[in-house]
Protein backbone atom coordinates (compact mmCIF):
# COMPACT_ATOMS: atom_id res chain seq x y z
CA UNK A 1 0.00 0.00 0.00
CA UNK A 2 1.00 3.61 -0.40
CA UNK A 3 0.39 6.67 1.75
CA UNK A 4 -1.01 9.90 0.37
CA UNK A 5 2.32 11.62 1.00
CA UNK A 6 4.28 8.96 -0.90
CA UNK A 7 1.73 9.10 -3.69
CA UNK A 8 2.19 12.87 -4.04
CA UNK A 9 5.95 12.31 -4.14
CA UNK A 10 5.45 9.80 -6.99
CA UNK A 11 3.40 12.35 -8.92
CA UNK A 12 6.16 14.92 -8.43
CA UNK A 13 8.62 12.37 -9.75
CA UNK A 14 6.41 11.83 -12.81
CA UNK A 15 6.50 15.57 -13.44
CA UNK A 16 10.28 15.51 -13.14
CA UNK A 17 10.31 12.75 -15.76
CA UNK A 18 8.59 15.13 -18.21
CA UNK A 19 5.01 13.96 -17.73
CA UNK A 20 2.40 16.69 -18.05
CA UNK A 21 0.20 15.97 -15.03
CA UNK A 22 -3.56 16.51 -15.05
CA UNK A 23 -5.39 16.14 -11.74
CA UNK A 24 -8.48 17.33 -9.82
CA UNK A 25 -8.12 20.82 -8.35
CA UNK A 26 -10.68 22.76 -6.31
CA UNK A 27 -11.88 25.93 -8.07
CA UNK A 28 -14.72 28.39 -7.51
CA UNK A 29 -16.87 26.50 -10.01
CA UNK A 30 -16.14 23.12 -8.41
CA UNK A 31 -13.38 20.54 -8.68
CA UNK A 32 -11.84 20.72 -12.16
CA UNK A 33 -9.52 18.33 -13.98
CA UNK A 34 -6.63 20.47 -15.21
CA UNK A 35 -2.89 20.52 -15.69
CA UNK A 36 -1.00 21.11 -12.45
CA UNK A 37 2.50 22.09 -11.38
CA UNK A 38 2.22 21.28 -7.67
CA UNK A 39 0.71 17.93 -6.59
CA UNK A 40 -0.13 19.49 -3.21
CA UNK A 41 -3.06 21.18 -4.96
CA UNK A 42 -4.74 17.85 -5.82
CA UNK A 43 -8.23 17.34 -4.39
CA UNK A 44 -8.90 13.77 -3.20
CA UNK A 45 -12.37 14.31 -1.72
CA UNK A 46 -14.57 15.08 -4.73
CA UNK A 47 -17.34 12.84 -6.06
CA UNK A 48 -16.57 13.81 -9.66
CA UNK A 49 -14.74 16.60 -11.41
CA UNK A 50 -16.96 19.07 -13.25
CA UNK A 51 -15.19 18.34 -16.54
CA UNK A 52 -14.00 14.98 -17.80
CA UNK A 53 -11.05 13.10 -19.25
CA UNK A 54 -12.43 14.04 -22.65
CA UNK A 55 -10.88 17.49 -22.13
CA UNK A 56 -7.43 15.86 -22.24
CA UNK A 57 -7.84 13.43 -25.12
CA UNK A 58 -10.29 15.40 -27.27
CA UNK A 59 -9.87 19.11 -26.44
CA UNK A 60 -12.83 21.49 -26.70
CA UNK A 61 -10.99 23.53 -29.31
CA UNK A 62 -7.86 22.52 -31.19
CA UNK A 63 -6.04 24.08 -34.11
CA UNK A 64 -5.54 21.61 -36.95
CA UNK A 65 -3.82 23.78 -39.56
CA UNK A 66 -2.69 27.28 -40.49
CA UNK A 67 -3.29 28.76 -43.90
CA UNK A 68 -2.30 31.78 -45.93
CA UNK A 69 -4.64 32.71 -48.77
CA UNK A 70 -2.18 35.05 -50.44
CA UNK A 71 0.59 32.45 -50.49
CA UNK A 72 -1.92 29.65 -51.19
CA UNK A 73 -0.42 27.50 -48.45
CA UNK A 74 -1.82 25.35 -45.66
CA UNK A 75 0.33 23.58 -43.06
CA UNK A 76 -0.79 21.13 -40.40
CA UNK A 77 -0.20 22.20 -36.81
CA UNK A 78 1.66 19.50 -34.95
CA UNK A 79 0.25 18.39 -31.62
CA UNK A 80 2.36 18.30 -28.47
CA UNK A 81 4.09 14.92 -28.30
CA UNK A 82 4.88 14.86 -24.57
CA UNK A 83 3.87 12.18 -22.07
CA UNK A 84 0.70 12.75 -20.03
CA UNK A 85 -0.34 11.43 -16.62
CA UNK A 86 -4.01 11.81 -15.71
CA UNK A 87 -4.29 11.30 -11.98
CA UNK A 88 -7.38 11.11 -9.78
CA UNK A 89 -10.19 10.71 -12.29
CA UNK A 90 -12.92 8.34 -11.18
CA UNK A 91 -13.63 4.87 -12.62
CA UNK A 92 -16.63 6.07 -14.65
CA UNK A 93 -14.41 8.54 -16.51
CA UNK A 94 -11.81 5.86 -17.22
CA UNK A 95 -14.56 3.57 -18.52
CA UNK A 96 -15.78 6.40 -20.75
CA UNK A 97 -12.30 6.67 -22.24
CA UNK A 98 -12.52 3.02 -23.21
CA UNK A 99 -15.74 3.78 -25.10
CA UNK A 100 -14.14 6.73 -26.90
CA UNK A 101 -11.22 4.48 -27.82
CA UNK A 102 -13.59 2.00 -29.47
CA UNK A 103 -15.23 4.81 -31.45
CA UNK A 104 -12.21 6.92 -32.39
CA UNK A 105 -9.52 4.24 -32.72
CA UNK A 106 -11.08 1.62 -34.93
CA UNK A 107 -11.92 1.02 -38.55
CA UNK A 108 -11.71 4.80 -38.97
CA UNK A 109 -9.07 6.28 -36.66
CA UNK A 110 -8.82 9.83 -35.40
CA UNK A 111 -5.04 10.10 -35.63
CA UNK A 112 -4.71 13.06 -33.26
CA UNK A 113 -6.81 11.40 -30.58
CA UNK A 114 -4.99 8.08 -31.06
CA UNK A 115 -1.60 9.77 -30.66
CA UNK A 116 -2.71 11.44 -27.41
CA UNK A 117 -4.03 8.17 -26.03
CA UNK A 118 -0.74 6.47 -26.86
CA UNK A 119 1.06 9.01 -24.67
CA UNK A 120 -1.47 8.97 -21.82
CA UNK A 121 -1.33 7.04 -18.55
CA UNK A 122 -4.52 6.96 -16.48
CA UNK A 123 -4.04 6.54 -12.72
CA UNK A 124 -7.60 6.33 -11.49
CA UNK A 125 -8.82 6.95 -7.95
CA UNK A 126 -11.60 4.56 -6.91
CA UNK A 127 -14.67 6.17 -5.34
CA UNK A 128 -15.09 6.47 -1.58
CA UNK A 129 -18.40 8.32 -1.84
CA UNK A 130 -21.21 8.78 -4.35
CA UNK A 131 -24.12 11.17 -4.65
CA UNK A 132 -27.76 10.84 -5.69
CA UNK A 133 -26.98 11.30 -9.41
CA UNK A 134 -24.48 8.41 -9.71
CA UNK A 135 -25.79 5.31 -11.48
CA UNK A 136 -22.66 3.64 -12.89
CA UNK A 137 -23.67 0.21 -11.55
CA UNK A 138 -26.80 0.31 -13.73
CA UNK A 139 -24.57 0.72 -16.79
CA UNK A 140 -22.44 -2.31 -15.94
CA UNK A 141 -19.61 -0.51 -14.15
CA UNK A 142 -19.03 0.40 -10.51
CA UNK A 143 -17.27 2.71 -8.01
CA UNK A 144 -14.21 0.41 -7.96
CA UNK A 145 -14.39 -0.82 -11.57
CA UNK A 146 -10.97 -1.01 -13.33
CA UNK A 147 -12.32 -0.65 -16.89
CA UNK A 148 -10.14 1.76 -18.85
CA UNK A 149 -7.66 2.40 -16.02
CA UNK A 150 -3.96 1.75 -16.42
CA UNK A 151 -3.52 1.96 -12.64
CA UNK A 152 -6.36 1.87 -10.10
CA UNK A 153 -5.91 3.19 -6.55
CA UNK A 154 -8.30 1.64 -4.03
CA UNK A 155 -8.83 3.41 -0.70
CA UNK A 156 -7.80 1.48 2.42
CA UNK A 157 -8.22 3.68 5.48
CA UNK A 158 -5.87 6.63 4.99
CA UNK A 159 -3.75 4.77 2.42
CA UNK A 160 -4.24 3.35 -1.06
CA UNK A 161 -3.91 -0.08 -2.60
CA UNK A 162 -2.13 0.08 -5.97
CA UNK A 163 -3.35 -2.15 -8.80
CA UNK A 164 -2.05 -2.17 -12.37
CA UNK A 165 -4.47 -3.26 -15.08
CA UNK A 166 -2.58 -2.75 -18.34
CA UNK A 167 0.99 -3.22 -19.58
CA UNK A 168 1.21 0.56 -19.77
CA UNK A 169 0.26 0.77 -16.10
CA UNK A 170 2.85 -1.83 -15.13
CA UNK A 171 5.56 0.04 -17.04
CA UNK A 172 4.56 3.34 -15.41
CA UNK A 173 4.74 1.87 -11.91
CA UNK A 174 8.18 0.42 -12.65
CA UNK A 175 9.32 3.79 -13.95
CA UNK A 176 8.36 5.37 -10.61
CA UNK A 177 9.65 2.49 -8.49
CA UNK A 178 6.16 1.55 -7.29
CA UNK A 179 5.02 -2.01 -6.64
CA UNK A 180 1.43 -3.13 -7.29
CA UNK A 181 -0.43 -4.79 -4.41
CA UNK A 182 -1.72 -8.29 -5.10
CA UNK A 183 -3.82 -9.79 -2.29
CA UNK A 184 -4.93 -6.79 -0.24
CA UNK A 185 -8.60 -5.85 -0.09
CA UNK A 186 -9.63 -2.21 -0.01
CA UNK A 187 -12.49 -0.46 1.72
CA UNK A 188 -15.94 -1.49 0.42
CA UNK A 189 -17.27 0.63 -2.44
CA UNK A 190 -20.06 3.11 -1.70
CA UNK A 191 -23.60 1.90 -2.28
CA UNK A 192 -25.44 3.67 -5.09
CA UNK A 193 -29.01 4.71 -4.32
CA UNK A 194 -29.96 5.43 -7.92
CA UNK A 195 -30.68 2.48 -10.16
CA UNK A 196 -32.22 2.30 -13.61
CA UNK A 197 -33.43 -0.75 -15.50
CA UNK A 198 -32.38 -0.69 -19.16
CA UNK A 199 -33.23 -4.27 -20.13
CA UNK A 200 -34.90 -4.28 -23.54
CA UNK A 201 -34.04 -0.63 -24.23
CA UNK A 202 -32.11 -1.32 -27.44
CA UNK A 203 -35.01 -3.38 -28.84
CA UNK A 204 -37.44 -0.55 -28.04
CA UNK A 205 -35.20 2.02 -29.73
CA UNK A 206 -34.89 -0.18 -32.81
CA UNK A 207 -38.57 0.29 -33.52
CA UNK A 208 -39.81 3.52 -31.90
CA UNK A 209 -38.11 6.22 -33.99
CA UNK A 210 -41.44 7.91 -34.78
CA UNK A 211 -43.12 7.20 -31.44
CA UNK A 212 -44.94 10.16 -29.79
CA UNK A 213 -43.05 9.44 -26.56
CA UNK A 214 -40.16 11.58 -27.84
CA UNK A 215 -42.36 14.66 -27.46
CA UNK A 216 -43.07 13.93 -23.80
CA UNK A 217 -39.55 12.91 -22.69
CA UNK A 218 -38.03 15.99 -24.34
CA UNK A 219 -40.67 18.44 -23.09
CA UNK A 220 -38.35 20.17 -20.59
CA UNK A 221 -35.25 20.14 -22.80
CA UNK A 222 -34.22 23.63 -23.96
CA UNK A 223 -31.38 22.44 -26.23
CA UNK A 224 -28.76 24.27 -24.18
CA UNK A 225 -26.13 21.54 -24.63
CA UNK A 226 -25.09 21.41 -20.95
CA UNK A 227 -25.47 17.63 -20.91
CA UNK A 228 -23.14 17.31 -23.90
CA UNK A 229 -20.38 19.47 -22.44
CA UNK A 230 -20.46 17.51 -19.17
CA UNK A 231 -20.71 14.07 -20.79
CA UNK A 232 -17.51 11.97 -20.85
CA UNK A 233 -18.52 10.02 -23.97
CA UNK A 234 -20.12 12.61 -26.29
CA UNK A 235 -17.60 13.25 -29.06
CA UNK A 236 -19.26 15.10 -31.95
CA UNK A 237 -17.37 18.06 -33.36
CA UNK A 238 -17.39 20.68 -36.11
CA UNK A 239 -14.50 21.99 -38.20
CA UNK A 240 -14.41 25.71 -38.98
CA UNK A 241 -11.99 28.23 -40.46
CA UNK A 242 -11.10 31.23 -38.32
CA UNK A 243 -9.37 33.86 -40.41
CA UNK A 244 -8.54 37.44 -41.08
CA UNK A 245 -8.10 38.96 -44.53
CA UNK A 246 -5.41 36.51 -45.59
CA UNK A 247 -4.21 34.30 -42.75
CA UNK A 248 -6.13 31.97 -40.51
CA UNK A 249 -6.45 28.65 -38.75
CA UNK A 250 -8.61 25.58 -39.22
CA UNK A 251 -10.13 24.59 -35.90
CA UNK A 252 -11.88 21.53 -34.57
CA UNK A 253 -14.33 22.26 -31.77
CA UNK A 254 -16.98 20.37 -29.86
CA UNK A 255 -20.49 20.39 -31.28
CA UNK A 256 -23.70 18.76 -30.12
CA UNK A 257 -26.88 17.35 -31.56
CA UNK A 258 -28.76 19.47 -28.99
CA UNK A 259 -28.07 22.61 -31.02
CA UNK A 260 -30.54 23.63 -33.71
CA UNK A 261 -27.75 24.21 -36.23
CA UNK A 262 -26.16 20.79 -35.80
CA UNK A 263 -26.02 18.95 -39.18
CA UNK A 264 -28.03 21.79 -40.75
CA UNK A 265 -27.55 21.94 -44.50
CA UNK A 266 -27.89 24.89 -46.85
CA UNK A 267 -31.60 24.42 -47.42
CA UNK A 268 -32.68 21.80 -44.94
CA UNK A 269 -32.61 20.87 -41.24
CA UNK A 270 -33.02 17.09 -40.95
CA UNK A 271 -33.95 17.26 -37.25
CA UNK A 272 -36.75 19.77 -36.85
CA UNK A 273 -37.81 20.40 -33.27
CA UNK A 274 -36.34 19.68 -29.86
CA UNK A 275 -37.88 16.22 -29.74
CA UNK A 276 -35.91 15.18 -32.84
CA UNK A 277 -32.65 16.52 -31.42
CA UNK A 278 -33.20 14.88 -28.05
CA UNK A 279 -34.12 11.64 -29.79
CA UNK A 280 -30.80 11.79 -31.64
CA UNK A 281 -28.93 12.12 -28.35
CA UNK A 282 -30.60 9.05 -26.84
CA UNK A 283 -30.40 7.04 -30.07
CA UNK A 284 -26.71 7.84 -30.50
CA UNK A 285 -25.85 6.66 -26.99
CA UNK A 286 -28.11 3.64 -26.60
CA UNK A 287 -28.67 2.39 -30.16
CA UNK A 288 -26.26 3.68 -32.83
CA UNK A 289 -23.09 3.21 -30.75
CA UNK A 290 -24.28 -0.27 -29.79
CA UNK A 291 -24.82 -1.03 -33.48
CA UNK A 292 -21.37 0.31 -34.37
CA UNK A 293 -19.02 -0.82 -31.58
CA UNK A 294 -21.26 -2.98 -29.35
CA UNK A 295 -21.01 -0.56 -26.43
CA UNK A 296 -23.53 1.75 -24.79
CA UNK A 297 -22.14 5.30 -24.79
CA UNK A 298 -23.11 6.02 -21.19
CA UNK A 299 -21.21 5.15 -18.01
CA UNK A 300 -23.74 6.40 -15.46
CA UNK A 301 -21.63 9.27 -14.14
CA UNK A 302 -24.74 11.42 -13.76
CA UNK A 303 -23.19 14.71 -14.85
CA UNK A 304 -26.04 15.35 -17.30
CA UNK A 305 -28.54 15.03 -14.44
CA UNK A 306 -26.59 17.42 -12.20
CA UNK A 307 -26.04 19.96 -14.99
CA UNK A 308 -29.50 20.18 -16.58
CA UNK A 309 -31.03 23.56 -15.67
CA UNK A 310 -34.57 22.26 -16.24
CA UNK A 311 -34.36 18.94 -14.46
CA UNK A 312 -34.30 16.54 -17.40
CA UNK A 313 -33.35 13.24 -15.73
CA UNK A 314 -31.76 10.68 -18.05
CA UNK A 315 -32.73 7.77 -15.79
CA UNK A 316 -36.38 8.80 -15.86
CA UNK A 317 -36.22 9.10 -19.64
CA UNK A 318 -34.70 5.62 -20.00
CA UNK A 319 -37.31 4.09 -17.71
CA UNK A 320 -40.07 5.78 -19.71
CA UNK A 321 -38.63 4.39 -22.96
CA UNK A 322 -38.26 0.88 -21.51
CA UNK A 323 -41.83 0.96 -20.21
CA UNK A 324 -43.30 2.39 -23.40
CA UNK A 325 -45.62 -0.03 -25.22
Q: What's the pLDDT tens digit per position in 237-273?
A: 999 999 988 999 999 999 998 888 887 777 777 778 8
Q: How far apart are CA 84 and CA 21, in angstroms?
A: 6
**pLDDT tens readout for residues 156-185:** 999 999 999 999 999 999 999 998 987 788
Q: Mean pLDDT of all residues in the chain?
A: 93
Average pLDDT over residues 93-117: 95
At residue 29 the predicted structure's pLDDT band, cuts being 50, 70 and 90, is confident
Instruction: Collapse the DSSP code of 323 into the 3-class scheme (helix H, G, I; strand E, B; otherwise coil) and give the result.
Output: helix
Q: How far apart are CA 178 and CA 59, in angstroms?
A: 31
Q: Measured between alpha carbons, how far is 137 from 315 in angstroms, rounded to an integer?
A: 13
- % of the chain at pLDDT higher than 90: 87
Strands (E), the chain: 2-3, 19-27, 30-36, 61-68, 73-76, 83-87, 120-125, 151-156, 159-164, 237-243, 247-254
Contacts 24+ apart (CB under 8 A), 66-74: 66/247, 66/248, 66/249, 66/250, 67/241, 67/243, 67/247, 67/248, 67/249, 67/250, 68/246, 68/247, 69/243, 69/245, 69/246, 69/247, 69/248, 70/246, 74/250
Q: Is 177 left (phi over 0), alpha (psi -120 to 50) or beta?
A: left
Q: Judge contact between 112 and 79, C-beta under 8 A.
A: yes
Alpha helix (H) residue ranges in the chain: 4-16, 54-57, 91-104, 111-119, 167-175, 201-207, 213-217, 226-230, 274-283, 289-293, 303-307, 314-323
pTM higher than the cut 0.85: yes
Amino acid sequence: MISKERLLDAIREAGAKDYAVFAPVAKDAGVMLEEIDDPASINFDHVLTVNTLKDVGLPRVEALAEFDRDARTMEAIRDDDGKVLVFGSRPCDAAAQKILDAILIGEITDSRYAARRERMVMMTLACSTADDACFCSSMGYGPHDPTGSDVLLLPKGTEFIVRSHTPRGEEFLRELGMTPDADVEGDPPPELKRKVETGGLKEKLDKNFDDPIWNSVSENCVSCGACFYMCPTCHCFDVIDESGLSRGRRLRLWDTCSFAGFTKMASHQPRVGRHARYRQRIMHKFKYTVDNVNLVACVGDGRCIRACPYGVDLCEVLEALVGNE
